Structure 1
Amino acid sequence: MSEKILNSRYWGIAARGLAMGAADVVPGVSGGTIAFITGIYQELLDSISRIGPRTVTTLFRDGIAAAWREINGSFLLALFTGILISIFSLAKLISHLLEHYPIVVWSFFFGLILASVVPIVRRIPRWSWHCWLALAVGIALAILVSEMRPREVSATPYALFFSGALAICAMILPGISGSFILLMIGIYPRVIAAVHELQFGALGWFAAGAATGLLLFSRLLSWLMHRFPALTLSFLVGILLGSLKIVWPWKLASDTTGDLPGNKLAPMLSNVLPDHFTLVSGQPSYVLGAAVSACAAVVLVLGVEWLHWRHSGKVVQG
């Protein structure tokens, strides 16, 4: 493969990282979903899971270049560069869009997640009762997470470390958002503030926890994907379907949210039908705009899936 092709591939990987970072900023949308529908999820898990004591051995025995190749370093560098650029540059934009165009934005994410089920289902060779059970467990877990209510956690170094570990585990699962988990434990505003204000001490503790959680959880997921692919994929489908409750566009404040700061964020509200939303809130439901936004997301996901299969030379079995 020529250097030109390699460079073009890593530009594409960085672009996927930008999309993953933008998704990870939103409480309710998982960067793992973006990784899956763009065809890099398995490579991401496998690459991260190679980082460990063996990497150190290779580094001292065969040098930096060999260790870099062993962990697929160029792929990880391009991807995480895109993710970090997106998080630091798009956080304010995403917050602005959610504040001023919430229904249209959440409709886009709803269509995005719904359409993401298609490429995962296509990778399940045969549906057994074990797969259906895993699907049900995934749906139940996502709904259970969506029923969590915000708690207050002090932003101590230990809390930031364990929050980072917990968030990254959710972040690489398609369907469960790491930002949503941070919101539920009450530390999301502090993490966003640390990003905006470049509080390097807080960010360092959070990043250390995220790195630790990523290295450990990616090994488990990679092992499951290779050992029990049908069961794992069925579970991920359930996670995606259950998470649709989190990103439903029409929401009203419930009694449990009260006047909590940031209660316009979708995970902290109760789902209602568009007509009921208009009746209670007095605001337009923007059904047409929501439908167009959701359809655009579906077309985008299926288009990306089609391009991925065409590029890989495989035939999609419908």
Structure 2
Amino acid sequence: MTSAPETAEELPTLRGSVPPVREWLRTFAIGICMGSADAVPGVSGGTIALIAGIYGRLIAMVTAVTPERALSLLDALVPTGDGVSVRRALSVWEAVDGWFGLALLSGVLTAIVVVTRIVHVASERYPTLLFGFFFGLIAASAVILLRELAVRTGGQAAAGVAGVVIAFLLSGPVEFLESGGLPLVFVAGAIAVSAMILPGISGSLLLVILGQYTRMSDALSLFLESLVGLATGGPLAAVVEYGTVVVTFVLGGVVGLFTISRAVRRALDWNRQATMAFLIGLVVGALRAPVNEVRTEVGLSTEVALAFAGAAVVGAVALLILDYVAVDLDLDTV
């Protein structure tokens, strides 16, 4: 017997469910800003969500997606059992704020594609300036976060030190990170995407720590190039090669968004200050990563150091200006 909320009269219709175009465009624009932030180390898409006033809605959407609702949506769309029911599917879709998520994700993905293309070109032509800029972003992000952190116990201090040490060690030359295959890509996707919803903590920064940032930027850019090439008669092998990496990363991201991100939220609920101290420690320790990239790719010299420092100043100033004109980050709202 059909329960009251599932009667035909109360189930949503497609026409009544789809939000106005203006709301779509606003959410898409916020997604563009979030994606642009998430695509560079030191800037967090979660911070942009906080500034735009959608952070609470974003967290509610992520936590609303459960295996039970996913199965209910699939059941409503597959011609088995009670048959296909668009209105039942819309009921589940609205319960997880699906239209909002779709518009936001579209904006995020659009921005990531554009920014990673820029990063791919810059890493080949101007690696010193690129990683110097990233160093400035990370350093300024660390300053902003440390300003808001109040360490009151030895345990919180130990958590912060642990974050610094872990990030510092991983940011150096680590063989298993440099030669890691698809399993590492999957794990990197899970960790990076789960961090993207945290204000102040950049998913791209974690990719830098894991030594996968340049690899993933290159893979996505080359995958899109190979798709264009395939459309004009190019080889399929390149699409498969780079597409496998991209798909593996995305699958890891989906898993991380609904597993690791929830674990982080629980850790924040259990001991907010210690968890934030650890996460901020990761940011501080990650300052080694851009330096290591330049040392490996270009080598160290006076000329390189000056260019690196100049780009770092530009990155730091850009982020500090954003912090000044946007919002004071309150870690208690994370």
CA distance in 1, matches of 2:188, 2:293: 28
1:91 maps to 2:116: yes
1:132 maps to 2:157: yes
**What do you get for the CA RMSD once the two structures are aligned?**
4.0
TM-score, scaled relative to structure 2: 0.65
CA distance in 1, matches of 2:44, 2:220: 22
Match of 2:323 among 294, 301, 306: 301
CA distance in 1, matches of 2:213, 2:33: 27
Equivalent runs, 1:171-190 vs 2, <5 Å:
171-173=193-195, 174=201, 176-178=205-207, 181=210, 183=212
Q: Counterpart of 1:93 in 2: which secondary structure? A: helix
Q: Percent identity?
A: 20
Post-superposition offset of 1:240: 0.9
Post-superposition offset of 1:186: 7.5
Residue 306 of structure 2 corresponds to which residue in structure 1? 285
1:20-74 superposed Cα distances (whole Å, 9 cap, x missing partner):
4532xxxxx26xx412432446754553343222323664698334433433334
CA distance in 2, matches of 1:124, 1:74: 35
Match of 1:209 among 227, 252, 256: 252
Q: Counterpart of 1:177 in 2: which secondary structure? A: helix
Gaps of 5+ in 2: 1-18, 77-86, 196-200, 228-238
1:50 maps to 2:64: yes
Contact persistence 2:164–2:281 (CA under 8 A) = yes
TM-score, scaled relative to structure 1: 0.68
Matched residue type, 1:299: I
Contact persistence 1:17–1:81 (CA under 8 A) = no
CA distance in 1, matches of 2:191, 2:145: 19
Residue 34 of structure 1 corresponds to which residue in structure 2? 44
Match of 2:36 among 7, 12, 19: 19
Matched residue type, 1:243: A
Residue 218 of structure 1 corresponds to which residue in structure 2? 261
**Structure 2 CA distance for partners of 1:297 and 1:56, relative to 1, 3 Å:** closer
CA distance in 2, matches of 1:42, 1:57: 25
Matched residue type, 1:17: M
Q: Which has the larger radius of gyration?
A: 2
**Structure 2 CA distance for partners of 1:291 and 1:58, relative to 1, 3 Å:** same
**Structure 2 CA distance for partners of 1:126 and 1:104, relative to 1, 3 Å:** same
**Structure 2 CA distance for partners of 1:172 and 1:126, relative to 1, 3 Å:** same
CA distance in 2, matches of 1:187, 1:117: 24
Residue 246 of structure 1 corresponds to which residue in structure 2? 289
Gaps of 5+ in 1: 24-28, 254-262, 310-315
CA distance in 1, matches of 2:144, 2:91: 34
CA distance in 1, matches of 2:57, 2:164: 25
Contact persistence 2:64–2:96 (CA under 8 A) = yes
Match of 1:143 among 168, 175, 178: 168
Post-superposition offset of 1:207: 2.6
Post-superposition offset of 1:244: 1.4
Post-superposition offset of 1:135: 0.8
Post-superposition offset of 1:229: 1.7
Contact persistence 1:115–1:298 (CA under 8 A) = yes
Contact persistence 2:31–2:106 (CA under 8 A) = yes
CA distance in 1, matches of 2:142, 2:212: 25
**Structure 2 CA distance for partners of 1:293 and 1:152, relative to 1, 3 Å:** closer
**Structure 2 CA distance for partners of 1:90 and 1:190, relative to 1, 3 Å:** closer
Post-superposition offset of 1:98: 3.2
Q: Identify, as 1 or 2, the structure richer in helix.
A: 2
Contact persistence 1:114–1:298 (CA under 8 A) = no
Post-superposition offset of 1:185: 12
Post-superposition offset of 1:134: 1.2
1:237-270 superposed Cα distances (whole Å, 9 cap, x missing partner):
11111111213499433xxxxxxxxx35xxxx7x
Contact persistence 1:135–1:234 (CA under 8 A) = yes
Q: Counterpart of 1:221 in 2: which secondary structure? A: helix
